[in-house]
Amino acid sequence: MRADHDARVVIVGSGPGGATFADVVTAAGWDCIILDKGRNHLIDLQPPYALKGDYSNDELKFLYRHFLGPDPLLEPRTYRRSAEIDGERLYTGDVNNLPSTIGGGGVHADGKVPRFREIDFRLRSELGPIDGATIEDWPVTYGELEPYYSEVERVVGVAGVADGPRANPFAAWRSGPYPMPPGPDMHGAVLSAAAAERLGLHPYPAPTAANSEPYDGRPACNNCGFCGYYGCPIHAKGDPVAMLSHALHTGRCEIRPECYVTDVAVDPSGRRATGVRYLDPAGGMHEVTAEFVVLACGAFETPRLLLQCGLGNSSGLVGRNLMYHFQTLTVGGFPFRLHGHRGRAVTHLHDDHIVPDADDLAAAHRAGLPYFRGGIVEHGSAAGPILEAKTYLPGPLHNDSMRRSDLRDRLWVFTMQGEDLPQATNTIDLDPAVVDAWGRPAGRATYAPHDHEVVASAHIAKTLEAVMTEAGAQWTITTTSPPVGELTELDRKNPLGVAPASRHVMGTCRMGHDPATSVVNAESRFHDIDNLLCADSSVFVTSAGYGPTLTLAALSARAAHLLTGTPLPPTSPTPSSPS
């Protein structure tokens, strides 16, 4: 530690991005302090840094009682489709809430961690612009990121198949195999994957950051089924407990939970960050000084913090180009039980809709689009009985509905995480009236999908329904999140809500070479403030059709390695041996 700073690096946010950054800088011999507004239920912060036992198989605690936070009474957010349609806001409450807890979104994720493909970083060059969207190439290529993808996969422990007939034929090149083989296939996925293959698609075991064998001192997943939206009681999910644990064990990382950052402090020039100011749990104001400040609050909270303190925004793009994944949910009802509550919530993906074929292109052209791309399709199901029960009507039919369980135990779900084009009009800004428990303006999402997403969804849904029927479903229904068209009473009752249900939030501090058209540079440093960095999915230029976690962690790792002067050597497509 240098005498003139409290730490070389202060990191705001302990999720996958911040945790990865802390892991890399502490391994390089630097010290860091992580601040997070959430409580700590993950890991003891004193040696020997034992993993905590607060997570449990408890639907009430995790789905209805805000155990991982944020509690919408303390930290409300607002949503509107546009000012013209909804005025200041349509809805106040839970909007894309990622956990506010030590470990952030990694705690509740079911750990599906696919990589992006080469083309995803060069969409404008490869496929061209689309009217109304701000599609640009990333300033980083897949090849530059590959060493960091590999490192993050090793650190968190990813189970998957890199080679052979079960591998994803659309996958980008890899420099090595996955650290672990995949876990067991859910029964429903066995059926839906076989059906997808019969219809010419290419399902594969989902790369999953849940141990299929003991790894890094943590046990193998035992398939309890309380995965998505739950913390893992046995810590078989590696993200981000692995990174935080490693960082703590160096003795150079301090984690301060329940600390609410109010400002990035800057010097009189306004071009250098000097640290951050925060409120402790008792409301006392503190300042942490550091040589470098890293924002890793997620693509909703990072722009909110910057807009509150008016920093980093000479481009006017902080908070703009907000992207989610446009979710297409095709559900199917089966005449027998699928017990989707056993296993890892999702065990198979297929990528076919990310690579448009002639039929997709024809559908795009008919809609006046040069092309469209969908996203990964997750084969899974994992609703709990309370959620199911609330969807049925009260009265004498309740019991038969619950015993038969058409909407849980006989239900299978395809969720497509469709690529969402960046649009300058989709934003995170500050709500003019709603405030949080600290009295500061709530974040507000203003978002409407581009025709691209809506057209792609409607077209691909036909294939998803055909696959579901081929798998043995007696009925299928497709919905989207957010809902499209006029809001119906059914939309308002849908447990997914009227706001996008996606927890994949991206793009609100996009990276690029030109300070006029981007917020951070290719090394994730702010153009306006050179020693301020962003280590979350805010920096994404496009959303691709893949979950963002591994890519944001790889970008964070790359930024931290470059900052500390420890870049990883370049990699090449080495044939890997089957594990």
Applying CB under 8 A, which residues contact another protein? 39, 41, 53-61, 64-67, 71, 73-74, 76, 92, 183-187, 190, 221-226, 233-234, 258, 281, 335-339, 341-343, 384-386, 389-390, 394-396, 398-400, 402-403, 405, 409, 433-437, 439
Given the complex with another protein, which of 341 and 373 has the nearer CB atom? 341
Q: Angle at which helices 16-27 and 549-563 pack, to 10 degrees?
A: 30
Q: Are 105 and 556 in contact (CB under 8 A)?
A: no
Please state the closest distance from residue 289 (CB atom) to another protein, in A: 26
Please state the closest distance from residue 442 (CB atom) to another protein, in A: 8
Residue type, 344: R
Given the complex with another protein, which of 190 and 367 has the nearer CB atom? 190
Please state the closest distance from residue 374 (CB atom) to another protein, in A: 28
Neighbours of 118 (CB within 10 A): 15
Please state the closest distance from residue 187 (CB atom) to another protein, in A: 6
Neighbours of 509 (CB within 10 A): 30
Please state the closest distance from residue 224 (CB atom) to another protein, in A: 5
Given the complex with another protein, which of 29 and 53 has the nearer CB atom? 53
Please state the closest distance from residue 186 (CB atom) to another protein, in A: 6
Please state the closest distance from residue 332 (CB atom) to another protein, in A: 14
Residue tagged 């943590």 (tokens): 218
* Cα torsion 480, 549, 551, 222: sign: negative
Given the complex with another protein, which of 201 and 234 has the nearer CB atom? 234
Residue tagged 């961690």 (tokens): 113
Please state the closest distance from residue 55 (CB atom) to another protein, in A: 5
Given the complex with another protein, which of 154 and 342 has the nearer CB atom? 342
Given the complex with another protein, which of 48 and 493 has the nearer CB atom? 493
Please state the closest distance from residue 53 (CB atom) to another protein, in A: 4
Please state the closest distance from residue 409 (CB atom) to another protein, in A: 7
Q: Report the alpha-carbon distance of residue 123 to residue 139 in Å, rounded.
A: 12
Q: Report the alpha-carbon distance of residue 325 to residue 327 in Å, rounded.
A: 6
Of the candidates 504, 23, 150, the residue with the CA atom closest to the CA atom of residue 160:
150
Of the candidates 333, 468, 327, the residue with the CA atom closest to the CA atom of residue 388:
333
Given the complex with another protein, which of 367 and 402 has the nearer CB atom? 402
What dihedral do alpha carbons 556, 562, 566, 570 form, nearest 10°? 80
Given the complex with another protein, which of 27 and 234 has the nearer CB atom? 234
Triad 215, 561, 519: Cα angle to 5°: 115
- DSSP bridge pairs for 39: 101
Of the candidates 96, 115, 108, 23, the residue with the CA atom closest to the CA atom of residue 548:
115
Residue tagged 């956990």 (tokens): 99
Given the complex with another protein, which of 28 and 389 has the nearer CB atom? 389
Given the complex with another protein, which of 419 and 436 has the nearer CB atom? 436
Please state the closest distance from residue 434 (CB atom) to another protein, in A: 6
Given the complex with another protein, which of 218 and 558 has the nearer CB atom? 218
| Tokens coding 169 | 């034929």
Of the candidates 180, 253, 256, 232, the residue with the CA atom closest to the CA atom of residue 28:
253
Q: Report the alpha-carbon distance of residue 240 to residue 245 in Å, rounded.
A: 8
Q: Report the alpha-carbon distance of residue 347 to residue 379 in Å, rounded.
A: 7
- DSSP bridge pairs for 426: none
**Segments of 200-341 assigned E as strands:** 204-205, 253-256, 260-266, 273-279, 285-295, 326-333
Q: Are 140 and 540 in contact (CB under 8 A)?
A: no
